[in-house]
Each structure stands twice: as C-alpha cells, then as structure tokens.
Structure 1
C-alpha cells in the first residue's frame, strides 16, 4: 500500500472525503498537508505528548516499587548528592537562594530537631500553620527526612475551623509560623493543650516558629535518619495531608499518597516541558495542592528551580516575577482577573510599558475563565497557557496546553488516541439536579453516559476491589470518603470517583467546565449554569468580577438567578456604591441579549468586594443564604445595593418590593 493509500485510509476513518488522484510530483506535498490536517483533527501529536508524560510517570513509579524508596525525601537527596546538580539553585525566596545541597542540609537540621527535641516518629503527623516561605519547604522536607508527614493548615483559619483541622490530623505537635501567631491566641493554645483534646487522649503541643527558634535549629548538625525510618512507606500510604476549602462545612483532610505525589509531579513537569533553565514562580498558598503538589513537587521531580512568593499581590506580582527571573508562573481561580484589573505598570524613568517585560514563556494553573483568557495572553505577552482540571482528592484530571485559540477556555483536551487508550477511565453521566446525584435508569438502576457536547457529572474509574489504589480518601473520616465513591454506574459491580463537577466534552475533543454540583440551579424548569452566566456578565466592559448563584423567592418554584458583582474602579473601602442608570441599563441589555430568558439574572447585588478563599476561589455559601431580602442585608450591616430586572434594565429593589413578593403580588 502506498503512502497516499495509507493516508486515504486514515482520512476515511476520520470521516474525511476520499483523496483525489494526484500526480506523483504532488504526492509528497499532498501527503504532508493531509497528515498535518489529520494531526490537527485527531489531536495525534498532543495525545502522544500526554501519553508520553503519563507513561514516564508510571515507569518512575514502578522503579520506586522496586527500590521501596517512596518517601520523596529521596528525590531531594538524589540531586543533593549528585556533584553535577548539588550546587544548582533549587529554592529562591525574597532575594535569597538555596542550592539542592543547602536545601538538603537544612532539611536534615530540621529533621534532627523534630526527632531529638520532639521525638517525632516515622508515620507520625505533624500539623504546620505557615505562610509561604523557604522555611515552609525546610520543615516539610525535614519531616519527610525522619519518615513523618505534614498536615498543611490554611493560615487563614481561626477558632473552630482551625481547632477542627488540628484535631482531625491526630497531630500531637502543632508548629505555627510566628507571622500567624494571632490566629492561635493563648486560649486556643490552652484548649489544644488539654489532656483529653485528642480523640485517643493526649494534648497537642503548640510551638511558635520565630527567628530565635529558627537560629537554634540551623545550628544543629545535618543529621540523617536511617533508611529504615522511611522504607516501610508504600505507594498508597499518606505523604501529606491537604485540607479542602470547607465551603460546605468544616474542612476535610485529603490524603495525598506517595504514589499520587510522584505521578502528579512527574506528569506535570513532563507535560509542561520543564527545563533545567526554567524557574517556576508561585505565590499561591503552599498549604494547597496547586502550589504544593503541582508547583513544588513538580519542581522536585524534575530538578527545576522554584521561586516562592510570600503572598499574592496584584500590584506586586509582576515585579516579583521579574526580580526572580521567572520563566513560568502559576495561577489559581481569579488570580489572572485581579492582575488584569491592576493598572499598567510603567518604568518610572522611561515610561516603558512593563507588562510584557519579563521572561515568562508559560502560565499554568486552574480556573482561568474564558472571558479573560485571551486578554491575559495579549496584555502580558504569554505565549502558552497550561490550564488543568483536578481536585486535591481527585484520582485524575484534564489537561490543556494551549498556544492558539482552538482550545482557549477549555480545562482539557484530548484526541482520538487518548480516547482509545484512556477513554474507559472517565465518564460523563446524566445528572439529576433535584437530588444532585447521577440519574439512574428505573429499570436497570444504572447511570447513563451523556453524548458528546452535553453536560453531566464527570466520574473517574476505580478498581472496585481495591479502591485505595487510586483514592485514599479523607484522613480520619471514612464517612466523607464513602460519599465520593459511586458503585454500579455503567455495569453491576463497577466503582467510580465522583468529582462533583458538571463537565462538557465537545465533539472537537475539548473539555469545558460547566458548574459545581450544587451551584447549578433550576428556574422555570431549566437548569442554569452559574459559571456560564458569570462568563457573560464578565464580558461586560464595566464589570470587574461577578459571582452568580440561585436564591429562593416566596411563592416561586426553584431559584431565581442573582449576580453579586463588583464594578470596575470600585475600591473595597468605598463609602458610596451607587451604579449609574446608564450602567444598569447597559448591563440589562447585555444579559437579555446574550442569555436565554430563564438564565438571565433577575437580581443584582452590587458590592465592593467578593469573598474568596485563600486560593483566590469564590465563595457562594453566605451570599446564597442571605438571598435578596433587604431586611437580612440590613440586619447583617451590609452596605451592598440590590437591584432587579424590570424589562431590559435593572432598577433598585427595595423593602416595598420584597413585601409585594412576600404577599404574592409579583410573578416573575
């Protein structure tokens, strides 16, 4: 069979028309053109890159199974003891640099302190509550060096949520950054120190890490614990504990196993094509998996330098990037939107636009919304976006390395080869929005796959006989772990992991995020995706940020759409908050033109700032609970303004209007 015959066969399989007869002199160009087209249509080269990255991670895991060196302290040690790598820069923080060897020696000093001052044993959990810093990494690696594991506490937590996280961890030692000392006042120290605080009895010792303690630790010898303290750890054993955000209750401690750490770190570093010359910059919180696993462990797995930002600042972000000579930056949630809202940075002497004056070739993370995707690339001159989809406790993810407009806004993409090889590991199933569970056929009891292009809940396959191979669940919380496992989904006896997210996989191989289950609401018998409504609102030139949710109304079924929004140029401490009539009219025209009637937000809540997590992700819980009752907002001392859609414009929504709704005198 000639090359043209082979290409013709491939074209036929791809649903393309038959190739015409061509002269031999044109055969080669025709072949090249057709192969290029097939590659683009079927996503062949992209799939091969994904599969190659995954295969390398799997092979690396198999080698760890043989050596039994699953503790990732060994990754650092391999670089630190390699003469060719030892003196290369590994960590950068606030103008200081540490080589692999210096990082290794410092970690051993911390390990010495943990073992010989606090008798921390292999397998023991130590809770740490720290801001971003190089010290965070030294403590983390110091714990791994003695076979212990850290539980990363969100430094924004106080009172009951903080107490809960420490208790769930089972830790008897709680190490607190002196910078967040105020979150752990004397009364909490006393509570944690009660002899009956821990579930099986025993107190928690709180140690504040200040400059004097750090100096004491750094004077210690770099003592290395014996291999026996680390080599009883297996692939599925916990490596770290990372807490969920707790937006629907108290945070849960997700177990991140050694296997997951190695797979994620190795895969991401290969997927991004991290180079020896790269320097990855992250100011996302290290207590969360994006910075900790995909950032730090990705660099540790590949031997790439990591520059750590203390905390996200929209005004200082690019200065920090330039000062650290970063080539790759990390984002989460609304990070890029906040950067776009900052004024253009100019050189104070020359007036030069500094937005593109950097060495960044790639930005990666999760949550870059479609309405700001291209604006980020254009303003900051970033050629490639690495958008990904996953969750701390998830068993898999989606990946979109995009340098063109084809997959802009997608959380992942895959082609024919990936579908063939990996297609059975993921499923998008029909969702029952009333029960917020996958719909089941009354006759078979099984779930139903959604056709390409239709949204449904994304599930990942598990081994029904060995769930913990991929999903280790939540630490000390088997009940919560069980809620993430769904059985008898596509056939009797199977098992799947519930992502809790509504995803759409289009015919072109692109994966799009629709909504978080529970955020989608029903109005006028239709399901409304808050994410899709927010994208439309966000495309209005005067809207800075918006958070969409459904609110209950008296005498109406379902939930009506409400959008809490911040206008461009409004400061968080602004006294007055009165949008102009022109803005309200323009916004009303915009949403009625670009959204179906059932999805158009009937209410606006104009505010100064939206509540977010420490990872720049929006929170809806309080907004949804307060609804649109002006009396509730008044009692909560809110200065926000409420409006409702009348015709094609928004007008003030006042107490008298709420009273009419309550009396059943208004039908929406």
Structure 2
C-alpha cells in the first residue's frame, strides 16, 4: 500500500507536470524534436551510406522482413499492391525506361499523370535508375502545358492515356525535340515483361541531401507555373512531419485523393506511408461523392485535405445507407485529418460532423524553406497553422520571424535611416521570412529549376544586418503570445479601401460563419473614379437563388462582425462550390479580380451591392453610373 504522503506527492508531481505542459506546451516541444530529430538522423544515416535516394527506402521495406514485404504499400480502386510487388514493378519499369527509352542517371523525365498506382511505379522507377521526375499538372493544356514541359528540360514525357488528348498537335510542334510516350495498356504490358533489373548503386549516387530529387510546379495562380527543386532533404522532412506529427504507426492507412503531382499528395502522404512501412490509399481525384466511400473501403485511419477540401465535404449532403437508412458520416476508421488550408470557420463543423479526433494542420509551400504544424484536439489552437512550445518557439525564432509590411509597396517595410526591416510585434501581422546561409543559399533554398531570376526574387538581403539573407514566403501571418501562428493573408490578396487594409482571409472567415454561406471567396476590385479596391465576395449560398431575407441577413452579419471598411460592398452569387479553385482545392482570385463587378463580364452570375443596409441587385445601369462618376461609394 502506497503511503498517503507518497501518493500525495505523486499526485502533486503529476498535477505540476500537467500545468507546466499546458503553460509551456512541452508536449509540442517533444513533438518538434521527434520530427526534426528523426528526419536529421535519417538523412545523416542515408548520406553516410550513400543512399539518399528514397528508392532505397522502398527497397528496404520490400526486401526486409517478410511481414512488411507482404503488406499493402498502395491501395487503388480495389487493387492492393504489396511492398514486394511494388518493388518488382518498379525494377521492371526502370529497366524498360533505361533499355527501351534510353533514360540515364541524372536525366529529367516529365510525368503527366492522374493519380494511380502506375503514377507511383513510374515515379519510383525513375528514382531506381537515378533519373529525376518532373511532376506535371495533368489538368494543363496548350501554352501552359508546353511551358511546363519546356521548363523541365526533359526530352521524354510519360503520359497517362486518360489525359493524352491534352498533348495536342500544337504542344507537340512547340516541343519538337521531346518524345511523348503515352503509357497505353500495350506499353504498360511491354514494361511489365521487362526483366526486373536492379542497377548498381553508382547509378543512384547523390552527393548531398540538398541534391534534386524531383521537380514540382507552383500552382501558377499569379503567372505561369514554375518548377521548384525538391531536394532529398525536403522529402525526408515532409514525410517525417506527417508521419511523426500524426503519431502514425505501420498499421495506419493514409488516404489521399489530392493530386500526386503536388508535394502534399506525393511527399506528405505516399512518402509518409513508405517511411513508416504503412499503407497509402490513393483516390484518382477528389469528389465529395467518392471521398468517404473510398475511405471506408480502404479502412483508412488518416485522411489528407488541401485548401477547401473540408469545406466541400462539410456542405455536401450526408450519405445514407440505402438498406438501413443510417447516416454514414461517422462510419469510418479515421482518427486524424492532416493537410493545409482548413479555415477556422469550417474547423469545428468538419470535426463534429465526421467525428474527427485530431486535426493536423501543416503550413508549407512547394518551394518554401521552412514549415509549421499544429496538432489540435481541442479549441486551444483551433484555426492555427502552426504552434510552438517554449523551447521550440525559441529555437524557431532564430531562423524564422515575421516582419512588418509596407502596405503601399507590398514589400517588407524598411527603416528610412538604417534600411533594415522591422520585426512584427507579438500578436501583430507580418510577412513570414526564413533565414538562409548568406554564403550558400542552396543549403536551405534550392529555388526554381533553371530560373535564377525567379529564385533571386524570393531572397531578401540586408534584412536585419548587412550581408544576411532571408527567404520571402509572401504570406502574412500572426504569432501570438501562446505560441500559436495564424494565417492572415497572402500578399497581393490584402487590399486597401478607405485608407485601411482589408484581409481577404479574415473577411472570408467571418462570412463563412453565416449559416447560409457554403463558400466565400473574398477579393478587392477596382472601381471607376475610386481609389483603392472595394471588397467583393464570390459566394455560394445553401439556396439556388438569393432571396431578400438571406441578403439582408448576410449584410447584417457582415456589418455586425466586421469593421465598416471591411464589409464587402459587392456580392457575386456563384452557383457551385469549388468553381474557382486549383487542382489542389485552393481558391483562385485572379480571374474574379480581372472581371471585377462589370455585369457584362460576370458570366451568368448575379451581382449585388450594399445599399440601404442590405444587398440589392447590381445591374448594368448601376455600373454605367459608376463609370460616369455619378455614384460615390
């Protein structure tokens, strides 16, 4: 029997430990060190053995213990492929690429493919022979597709038969020196018949963790997509962020229907499963009609989201069992959702509707030099894109910080006397920047492939002292006194109206809390005879048409929750969610901004403007009055 004083002392110690953990987020510090420690140790060990190429991780899982070799690595549309089978196929495809297509170590090969197990096999087959894949967005056509293929410098493009039509005669003419191999069933069978050859390690020699593993393109929302160099170090770090951060084990199944041509699907999902000896369940594409069906069929335990994915799932009608009439929203094995872009106004609704225990929000960019993460099970860090404990926060502040932004130039503000930038105060918004080794930038930022100008544009010099170098994220964040980091806005999305700065993200969050709003995409539009940009929101309501009651309620909600200058003056009623999004479900604004509020450019969407305390139809005659200067807002 434990003496009472000893029991009391133990209880006191536990209570004290719980207090310290809550006060200083010590558990988060431990997670920070687990993620970084595991990634750095793995990189060190792989580098020392000359095995930085992630092909060796697949080989270790397939040729290690029999249990791992026999377990599923990839699940896709009812087919399960074990680690051993995947390895065998990768060797066959690699031999086919080398012997039949002349691909050699160091070559870049474009991969224009939809999500599938074949995508994964071709990707790893290129690594198996020391080549580098360039992941092409399979939605691209015409000039944009030709641009991405040209920028890759590839002389061979492997094309999914399902998207072969996008490789038009025009694209082929523009790229006359490139060979296009549409991987038809016949060609796939030919590759399968190839003997599985494991080429010597010398073919896969990588000197540094910063060497290029693959090319992944930016989204291209502000211009043509740019090929970002993804290093082996970044693959290791991304895989560890999602694997260790979600507390996953080999028994977990990671489900993703996010595009594998993006780092979220490829590095954070597939590579995480690989490093863990777990299973990657892949959906061909995102659809609210198939998402939960595939999650249930594959018994997935961790699901991935990007951008507005969770919003679209939350506003979709529930799936009802046709036999029992049971609501299937919570009939799944999911314990965690990981990804980036989950809006605060959707956070709780998504968790509660689908019974998700933990949200693992990640902040990162394809070309970014650092990432943030926030594992959240309660309301403390709801909506945060990152979170730090006492120790991890102190360490992170040595190489990451927020700086004040000049609202006129949309650049970090510089002191007129010293020329240096100024750190944003705790709780204030500022651009997120990351310190780089001034004499060797590529140690932390590999930049854009073959594009020195675009690479240099992301680097700032002489920020806090002469000669230093920092990576510009282009994102405005806010870091509070509790170590939580929140997304404020993307530079270029924030606009000025009535001499005030308006954050599109904050306005969208507020409008998203209105019960009738399913999606809100906020942006600023230029108006004739007015300075700055007026607020406009492209909105999807839960009714096909906006009636006077809903519009009045929306106006009242906006005026009650937002400063007067931030209340959108215009509403554009969009018919369906996701109408203006990228392939990764991220909202696009540039087309909406260009169209503005000229009714003749609004396609079939209805426009409204704030008048008399409510939103009323905005017609061509009203636009003409603005053009003539007869109306002042």
Corresponding position of 1:551: 525
Contact 1:68 1:234 in 2 (8 A): no
Helix, strand or coil for the counterpart of 2:241? Answer: helix
| Deviation by residue 1:435-464 (Cα, 9 ceiling, x = unmatched) | 111000011111000111100100011111
Contact 1:61 1:263 in 2 (8 A): no
- Report deviation, 1:569: 4.5
- Determine the C-alpha separation between the residues in 1 that align with 2:7 and 2:285: 61
Corresponding position of 1:141: 124
- Report deviation, 1:263: 2.1
Q: Does 1:603 align with 2:570?
A: yes
Q: Does 1:588 align with 2:555?
A: yes
For residue 248 of structure 2, the aligned residue among 270, 274, 293 is 274
Q: If the length of structure 2 is used for normalisation, what is the TM-score?
A: 0.97
- Determine the C-alpha separation between the residues in 1 that align with 2:17 and 2:495: 45
| Deviation by residue 1:313-354 (Cα, 9 ceiling, x = unmatched) | 101110110111111100001111111111111111111111
Contact 2:145 2:171 in 1 (8 A): no
- Report deviation, 1:656: 2.1
1:215-614 map, 5 Å:
215-570=189-544, 578-609=545-576, 610-614=579-583
- Report deviation, 1:395: 1.1
Q: CA RMSD in A?
A: 1.4
| Deviation by residue 1:267-307 (Cα, 9 ceiling, x = unmatched) | 33111112111011100000001001111111122211101
Number of residue pairs matched by the alignment: 626
Helix, strand or coil for the counterpart of 1:54? Answer: helix
- Determine the C-alpha separation between the residues in 2 that align with 1:402 and 1:304: 23
Query: Which sits farther off after the overlay, 25-34 or 299-308?
Result: 25-34
1:584-663 map, 5 Å:
584-609=551-576, 610-633=579-602, 638-663=603-628
| Deviation by residue 1:185-207 (Cα, 9 ceiling, x = unmatched) | 234224322xxxxxxxxx10011
- Any unmatched runs of 5+ in structure 2? none
Q: Does 1:173 align with 2:140?
A: no
- Determine the C-alpha separation between the residues in 1 that align with 2:250 and 2:167: 41
- Structure 1 pair 70–175 and aligned structure 2 pair: CA distance change class (3 A): same
1:64-143 map, 5 Å:
64-84=46-66, 85-143=68-126
Contact 1:315 1:339 in 2 (8 A): no
For residue 18 of structure 2, the aligned residue among 18, 24, 36 is 36
- Determine the C-alpha separation between the residues in 2 that align with 1:351 and 1:587: 35
- Determine the C-alpha separation between the residues in 2 that align with 1:217 and 1:388: 38
Contact 1:124 1:149 in 2 (8 A): yes
- Determine the C-alpha separation between the residues in 2 that align with 1:212 and 1:631: 50
Helix, strand or coil for the counterpart of 1:614? Answer: coil
- Determine the C-alpha separation between the residues in 2 that align with 1:301 and 1:464: 32
- Determine the C-alpha separation between the residues in 2 that align with 1:658 and 1:188: 40
For residue 36 of structure 2, the aligned residue among 54, 59, 62 is 54
- Report deviation, 1:233: 4.4
Corresponding position of 1:191: 174
Helix, strand or coil for the counterpart of 1:424? Answer: coil
* Structure 1 residue ranges, 4+ long, deviating more than 6 angstroms after superposition: none
Contact 1:71 1:233 in 2 (8 A): no
Q: If the length of structure 1 is used for normalisation, what is the TM-score?
A: 0.92
- Report deviation, 1:410: 0.7
- Determine the C-alpha separation between the residues in 2 that align with 1:251 and 1:187: 19
